[in-house]
A and B are shown apart, each in its own frame.
Chain A
Amino acid sequence: MKFFGFVIVCLTGGLLLYGTMDLPDWGDPGSPASTHLSDYYIEHIVEETQVPNLVTAVLADYRGYDTMFETAVVFCAGLACFLLLRDFRPGKDRYFRHVPTGVMLHFKNPDTRLVAGNEFEHMDKEWVPSDMIIKTVCRILIPFIQIYALYVVAHGDFSPGGGFQGGVIFGSSLILMAISYNLKTLVKRVTEKFLSIFAAAGVLIYVGIGVAAMLMGGHFLDYGMLAPLLPSDPGHIRALGMLGVEIGVGIAVMAVMVIIYINIVSEGRHDEGL
């Protein structure tokens, strides 16, 4: 099988390398990909949308449908992870730690109940005390990462950034919290309900902006029609519409990243894991 695979790979690679002879040279301004549509985008986007970041403008305005279904794909990925892995059965073995003394209690009967108040802490089998240096550094860093994520979302129109990137940065700040403390700390602060609602709300914001444009008499996702709704310069309305869409994308991506992470590391039980 290995040899067979190697032969296939060599054949495919050889064919592809032969095919590169017809491709344009690296960085050639006259290559077919960089002449027809690309020139139109570069020369007309600023006057049509007043958004200087061409990538955001193409993503959220000219290819708005594509991005909307992309957000739906992300939402579906989160949903698929949830449906595949989520396990609501309580674990058979449960462990509690008596905080003042550090004594561990192991419950084998799933029916026994222990009121986990201030003295007892529900915990994992492979529990290790979190390292103080890691905890402190992450506690200081996480707010700055989140502020940066919000900046990336909000400035997507003017500088490199946008909803996908900002959402991923925000999600990774929450994942960092789960890694540096433990999963329970994250799940306690950011509940599953919160994440599910946010994932759906992100897609809903995107579709809602599109439907709002339809209700105002335009086409779906025609941001220019939203002008009467917002007290703003009418020329700037497309940038605002894109910002709204990017916020929706950012929220959905943030929530879905965290949902995927939590479900995979804890095998759907949301209690232990990294």
Chain B
Amino acid sequence: MGDILPLIVAKYNFWLYIVLMMIGLYAMIAKNNLMKKLVGMNIFQTAIILFYVSIGYKHGATIPIIQGGHGGHSAHDAVIHAADYINPLPHVLMLTAIVVSVATFGVAMALCVRIYQRYQTLEEDELRMRVSEMITHE
């Protein structure tokens, strides 16, 4: 027990994101309502986004916008140290991931609307019942 505590303190960000991710995964597996499954998927995606952004963090560094870079030529003289700015790459990747999550969420909600229009329910067990009823009627 004495060994594991400093380990958690040094990496508490990962532990928090994994807990969040597992909440989302549980919602996707165990919830009966399709809308709740979608919310679980969004929680999962948010946890991954937080995970990536936290990888890019550096102690004592600032946001990845070069100071004095606006002026043009003056920026060339000053030497830019990589340790002064956090890693921009995870931010870029997650910017696109956020867009993908919005797109998937929009399409998934459109599908939910269509399912509701046809079967009048979004509960998974009722859906299964309605579908099997339809098959037997045919």
B25 at the interface (CB under 8 A from A): yes
- Whether B89 pairs with A27 at a CB distance below 8 angstroms is no
Check: B22 CB closer than 8 A to any chain A CB: yes
Main secondary structure of the interface of A (DSSP, over half): helix
The count of chain B contact residues (Cβ–Cβ below 8 Å) is 62
Given A21-B7, A53-B65, answer yes or no on A13-B22 (Cβ-Cβ < 8 Å).
yes
Q: How far is the CB of B41 from chain A (nearest CB, A)?
A: 14
Across the interface, which residues of A come within 8 angstroms of B67, CB to CB?
A: 52
CB distance from A239 to the nearest CB of B (A): 10
A164 CB, min distance to chain B CBs, angstroms = 6
Question: Are B88 and A38 closer than 8 Å at their CB atoms?
Answer: yes
Indicate if the CB atoms of A74 and B99 lie closer than 8 Å. yes
Distance (whole angstroms) from the CB of A106 to the closest CB of chain B: 23
How far apart are B63's CB and chain A's nearest CB, in angstroms?
A: 7
Task: Pick out which of these stretches binds chain B: A80-88, A187-195, A214-222.
Answer: A80-88
Asked whether, in the complex, the Cβ of A8 is within 8 Å of the Cβ of B106, the reply is no
Given A16-B18, A81-B106, verify A33-B99 contact (CB < 8 Å): no
Q: Are B107 and A81 in contact (CB under 8 A)?
A: yes
Picked from A12, A25, A78, the residue with its CB within 8 Å of the CB of B22 is A12
On chain A, the residues within 8 Å of B56 by CB distance are 33-34, 38
A26-B11, A160-B63 known; A42+B55 contact, CB < 8 A: no
B130 in the interface, Cβ–Cβ < 8 Å? no
A141 CA to B65 CA in the complex, in Å? 30
Any chain A CB within 8 A of the CB of B54?
A: yes
Q: Please, which residues of chain B bring their CB within 8 A of the CB of A264?
A: 106, 109-110, 113
| Interface size range of chain A in the complex | 35 or more
Contact B21 A73 (CB under 8 A): no
Within 8 A of B (CB), among A18-56: 20-21, 23, 25-29, 31, 33-34, 37-39, 41-43, 45-47, 50-55
Are A27 and B65 closer than 8 Å at their CB atoms? no
Q: Is the CB of B12 within 8 A of A52?
A: no
Do B72 and A55 touch across chains, with their CB atoms under 8 A apart? no
A200 within 8 A of B: no
Q: Which of A27, A55, A70, A253 is within 8 Å of B64, CB to CB? A: A55
**B137: chain A residues within 8 A (beta carbon):** none
Q: Which of A1, A2, A257, A267 meets B117, CB within 8 Å?
A: A267
B61 x A9 contact (CB < 8 A): no
Tell which of B30, B85, B90, B107 touches A42, judged by Cβ atoms closer than 8 Å. Answer: B85
Complex CA–CA separation, A272 to B38 (angstroms): 24
Determine the distance from Cα of A20 to Cα of B106 in the docked complex, in whole angstroms: 33
List residues 100-138 of chain B with CB under 8 A from any CB of chain A: 100, 102-104, 106-107, 109-111, 113-114, 117
State how many angstroms separate the Cβ of B46 from the closest Cβ of chain A. 16
The contact of A267 among B10, B29, B113, by CB within 8 Å, is B113
Q: Are A46 and B65 in contact (CB under 8 A)?
A: no
A43 to chain B: which residues have CB within 8 Å?
A: 80-82
Q: A33-B90, A54-B85 are in contact. Are A84 and B114 (CB under 8 A)?
A: yes
Tell whether, in the assembled complex, residue B107 and residue A33 are in contact, meaning their CB atoms are under 8 Å apart: no
- Taken together as a complex, chains A and B put the C-alpha atoms of A41 and B66 apart, in Å, by 11
Complex Cα distance, B39 from A238, in Å, reads 40
- Write out the residue numbers on chain A whose beta carbons fall within 8 Å of the beta carbon of B72: 50, 235-236
Q: Can you list 20 contacts pairing A with B, beta carbon distance less than 8 Å?
A: A5-B26, A21-B7, A27-B59, A29-B83, A31-B55, A33-B56, A33-B89, A42-B82, A45-B66, A46-B66, A46-B69, A52-B70, A52-B75, A53-B64, A53-B65, A54-B65, A55-B65, A59-B96, A74-B103, A160-B63
Question: B-side interface residues toward A, CB under 8 Å?
Answer: 7, 10-15, 18-19, 21-22, 25-26, 29-30, 54-61, 63-70, 72, 75-76, 80-83, 85-92, 95-96, 98-100, 102-104, 106-107, 109-111, 113-114, 117
In the complex, the 4 A-B pairs of residues with the closest C-beta atoms, listed nearest first: A52-B69, A77-B103, A5-B29, A5-B30
